[in-house]
Structure 1
Amino acid sequence: MNQTQTKPWSPDSVTREVLAELRGELGACMQCGTCTASCPNGFAMDVTPRQMWRMVQFGMLDTILESKTFWMCSSCYMCTLRCPRGLKLTRAMGALKRLARERGTWKIRKNSAFYDAFMDNVEKYGRVQETSLMPGYFLKSRDPFLPLHYLPLGVRMMKAGKLHAPSSAQKGRLKELFAKVREMEDQS
């Protein structure tokens, strides 16, 4: 089976269990839209967070996983902090990311490439370093034409003085934190 082919996906018991848990957690969502209004990345999402929670409530897993919304979540916790019902919305976005990885289609791998590169970059440097983030993203995306798409943006950023060489001041400071999170995830 080559990389562009995917095996047929059917919801297994783990997927159904996670979806049922999400539906239970988000069942109290009253569709007020506070999460969407609070989201700093909402402008880039194809489905608003409020719409995403309604799709979870209705069990629309295929539609949810075709969306790029949960990949755009930066885990800033603004939605969770402002939710009048106290729902753990950032945690729900994380669960959707894990479900998407479990499904493992080409589109999901493509959508997760930036997220993976971003998290690797933060772990390595302690903050985002654009000059190393983008090459990492291009490698993870496995799309040889993707850098050409970003070339005009890179030129504009260089002209504006927004690209800087990676700093070693914070390098490695978050490695222990990331290792602890991985350890905790393995235990759960």
Structure 2
Amino acid sequence: MSETITRTWSPEGDETRIALTELRDMVGACMQCGTCTASCPNWYAMDVTPRRMWRMVQFGMIDDILKSRTFWLCSSCYMCTLRCPRGLRLTSAMGALKRLARLDGARQARRNGAFYEAFMSDVEANGRLQEASMMQGYFLRRMDPRLPMAFLPLGLRMLGKGKLHLPSRAQRGRLGPMFAKARQMEAGS
């Protein structure tokens, strides 16, 4: 963890300031017990543990937070929230970090958010995850012509084992109203 605060909690823009204030309020009472990290099924893949992330939020280490991929790996299982002895809304805090990263618009945040956005867009459009169309959306968002070639061997192995399915139109558009309502609720909060 960096010892210096590279950017303070007074950034430009009302949306960012509101997001930061909301985030600090969510985790301000964290006592660093580590229950969130012990409860997280994805902690092993994170570059910063959830407990450490909350401390970084408390210290206002925005640049270090936004460089992390931790919040993008949150699967929103709510285990940290359910087990937190202080009753903190930690899953909501991870969501607030995702929103903050999108507001910040840093290159790293755009790259890490591309997969998340492609995943959610594909589920909204198809009613379930369609691996082929989701990866196509991911590649388009990343705008790196070399990236699909890096995934080609994995895609061929998945296709050979029957794990990669071609898009189906069976559930197409059925989740659209639910996503629209969620966007409406997020805009109102």
TM-score band by shorter chain is: 0.7 to 0.9
Cα 1:21–1:148 change in 2 (3 A) is: same
Q: Say which SS state the counterpart of residue 178 (structure 2) adopts.
A: helix
8 Å Cα contact 2:66-2:108 kept in structure 1: no
2:5 alignment partner in structure 1: none
1:76 corresponds to 2:77: yes
> What's the CA shift string for 1:37-63, capped at 9, x where partnerless?
222322321111111111011111110
How far has the Cα of 1:181 moved from its partner? 1.0
Residue pairs, 1:11-90, within 5 angstroms: 11-12=11-12, 14=14, 15-90=16-91
8 Å Cα contact 2:126-2:171 kept in structure 1: yes
TM-score computed with the length of structure 2 as normaliser: 0.86
Residue pairs, 1:128-143, within 5 angstroms: 128-143=129-144
How far has the Cα of 1:162 moved from its partner? 0.6
Q: Say which SS state the counterpart of residue 163 (structure 2) adopts.
A: coil
Distance in 2 separating the partners of 1:167 and 1:13: 42
8 Å Cα contact 2:42-2:74 kept in structure 1: yes
Cα 1:96–1:148 change in 2 (3 A) is: same
8 Å Cα contact 1:19-1:59 kept in structure 2: no
Residue pairs, 1:158-169, within 5 angstroms: 158-169=159-170
Distance in 2 separating the partners of 1:31 and 1:170: 43
1:115 alignment partner in structure 2: 116
How far has the Cα of 1:13 moved from its partner? 5.3
> What's the CA shift string for 1:147-178, capped at 9, x where partnerless?
12212211221222111122333222211110
1:152 corresponds to 2:140: no
Distance in 1 separating the partners of 2:179 and 2:155: 29
1:125 alignment partner in structure 2: 126
Distance in 2 separating the partners of 1:50 and 1:114: 24
Give the alignment's Cα RMSD to 1 decimal.
Answer: 1.7
TM-score computed with the length of structure 1 as normaliser: 0.87
Q: Which amino acid aligns with 1:175?
A: G
Unaligned runs of 5+ in 2: 1-9
Q: Which amino acid aligns with 2:11?
A: P
> What's the CA shift string for 1:58-102, capped at 9, x where partnerless?
111110001111111222222212222211111111111111111
How far has the Cα of 1:105 moved from its partner? 2.0
Q: Which amino acid aligns with 2:183?
A: R
Q: Which amino acid aligns with 1:65?
A: L
Q: Which amino acid aligns with 1:81?
A: L
Q: Say which SS state the counterpart of residue 100 (structure 2) adopts.
A: helix
Identity of aligned residues (%): 68
2:4 alignment partner in structure 1: none
Q: Which amino acid aligns with 1:120?
A: S
Q: Which amino acid aligns with 1:143?
A: D
Unaligned runs of 5+ in 1: 1-9
